[in-house]
Structure 1
Amino acid sequence: MSTTAPQTRSVIVEREIAHPPEKLWRALTQPHLIAEWLMRNDFVPNLGHRFKLHGDWGGVLDCEVLAIEPNRTLSYTWDFAHDDPAFDMKSVVTFTLTPTPKGTLLRMEQAGFRPEQKQAFGGARAGWQEFFGKLEELLARAE
């Protein structure tokens, strides 16, 4: 009998943003800026740092920095413990910044959605679009 790991799905959002990677990096790694576009947090840009993201809905995500390469890559766990296993979430969020002639291509991948987590997957797809919209508004204000 073979044991294969259950397939997981990813939410991927890519957006070209008319700002240099350094400016985008600050918005991804400075706690007061993260709070403006994502969630309240106690983030520190250090490998292995454990932090929490506090959602407006009252939920708390447990996170740990997995990879950090200034102005290029940021990856952290995105874990949400829930009483209902269908909503229990263990995933990894990875931001990749690629310079472009017009600014930066920002790619976000949230990997780890189990097949039965259709609601969480759909919520993340919509949620990340909203987060990216807030991120662009923040960057425009911070000219």
Structure 2
Amino acid sequence: MTDPTTTIHVDQFLAHPPAKVWRVLTEPDLIARWLMPNDFAPVVGHRFTMRTQPRPGQGFDGWVHGEVREVDPPRRLRWAWRGGGLDTEVSWTLVPEGRGTRLFLEHSGFDPGDPLQQRTARLLDGGWRSHVWARLADALATCGPSV
């Protein structure tokens, strides 16, 4: 049996400057390339939605409801992530490193006593670490130079 997960931590180096990584994390059309279609705006208090495939077995209807909680360009971004019984938070921290950026993801707020949330946390942990990072890297490679 594994220990309960309350927070997912991911640390990844990206060979792009923080300004470019920030663009991919905050521009709706670029977010759609690596995460989900959305109506995101990097404005504290902005409520947004993201849409993906429903997962009825996880109690997820395909909608993520978010609210921007912190915007500190190009260093920190934090938003609420609600959907499928979750009321969690996603934080991104960008740290310049050489000619690139060290990107830290923290997805927190999973209930350690809720089996459905624990199963969802394990699925999201795998997703954040694998295909989301690969799609994020592809978006960075194809989005053009930072402004």
Q: Is TM > 0.5 for Structure 1 vs Structure 2? A: yes
Structure 1 gap ranges (5+) = 1-6, 83-87
Whether 1:75 and 2:78 are equivalent positions in the alignment is yes
Give the aligned length: 131
Question: Secondary structure, in 3 states, of the residue corresponding to 2:25?
Answer: helix
Q: What does 1:1-143 align with in structure 2 at a 5 Å threshold?
A: 9-57=6-54, 59-80=62-83, 82=84, 88-115=85-112, 116=114, 117-129=117-129, 130-143=131-144
Question: Secondary structure, in 3 states, of the residue corresponding to 1:138?
Answer: helix
How far apart are the structure 1 equivalents of 2:25 and 2:53?
A: 18
1:39–1:54 Cα contact (<8 Å) kept: yes
Aligned partner letter, 2:128: W
How far apart are the structure 2 equivalents of 1:65 and 1:59?
A: 19
Question: Secondary structure, in 3 states, of the residue corresponding to 1:109?
Answer: strand
1:29–1:43 Cα contact (<8 Å) kept: yes
How far apart are the structure 2 equivalents of 1:75 and 1:89?
A: 16
> TM (normalized to structure 2)?
0.84
1:27–1:34 Cα contact (<8 Å) kept: yes
Structure 2 gap ranges (5+) = 55-60
- Deviation string 1:107-127 (CA, Å, 9 cap, x unpaired) is 010001111322111111111
Percentage of pairs with the same residue: 38
How far apart are the structure 1 equivalents of 2:53 and 2:141?
A: 23
How far apart are the structure 1 equivalents of 2:66 and 2:80?
A: 5
How far apart are the structure 1 equivalents of 2:39 and 2:121?
A: 25
2:5–2:121 Cα contact (<8 Å) kept: no
- Deviation string 1:35-73 (CA, Å, 9 cap, x unpaired) is 000000000111100000111335101100000001100
1:51–1:62 Cα contact (<8 Å) kept: yes
How far apart are the structure 1 equivalents of 2:21 and 2:5?
A: 29
How large is the Cα RMSD of the aligned pairs?
1.5
How far apart are the structure 1 equivalents of 2:5 and 2:135?
A: 28
| Structure 1 segments (4+ residues) deviating >4 Å | none
